[in-house]
Amino acid sequence: MQISVWLDAIMPYTISDALANRKDNILAAFKMISDVSCIRFVPHTTEFNFLNFRDGRGCSSFVGCQGGEQPLYYSTKCDVGNLCHEIIHALGLHHEHTRKDRDEHITVQWESIVEGKKRNFKVHSGDTLNLPYDINSIMHYGPYFFSQDGSQTVVPKQSGVDMGQRTHLSDLDIKRLNRLYHCADRMKPQ
């Protein structure tokens, strides 16, 4: 499955007036990404494709550049790390725990997942960008995400991992974004 990336590694954006008091969190999430990649975030002017931050009941985003005005929903329940996770979806990355090699690293406990949320755990055939599985990824769910009864939904096969963290991009998250956007080529002196 081919992911559509943002032209020239630039993501134009708008922020709904309803989110004025959360704009600093959006800018902080942008900084988490732009500090470690060639990806830039610019206020929307006339670009056809742009991300529109909207108030919502949760945090959610489409994966990749969809074309035209693209919503990213951002509720008060979402912190900067969750917001960064959703922006990375919009940039083109799927959840790490949906990779085709995930069963070597985790066990999904299907019976523990809330009905209607099982789709978030299904394997995608997306490009791994020739990078290994990253259980510490900001794009990986934690052990209790969408649990219907307080039991684990995702069980790591390795102990001592920081699965589900939302504090930083892992080294492999950074490599993955930089490969997806060909940052090594973009950052070469002209």
44 among annotated binding-site residues: no
User: Is 85 annotated to bind ligand?
Assistant: yes
Q: Among residues 86, 96, 104, 115, which one is catalytic?
A: 86
Residue 96 to residues 37, 101, 136, 163, 186, Cα–Cα distance (Å):
19, 10, 9, 10, 25
Active-site annotation holds for 47: no
| Residue 3 phi, psi (nearest 5) | -95, 135
89 is in an annotated binding site: yes
Rounded CA gap, 71 and 122, in Å?
23
Cβ distance 89 to 70 under 8 Å?
Answer: no
Residues 89 and 61 sit within 8 Å (Cβ to Cβ): yes
Which residues belong to the annotated binding site?
A: 85, 89, 95
Q: Binding site residues for Zn(2+), as ranges?
A: 85, 89, 95
Q: Which residues are catalytic?
A: 86
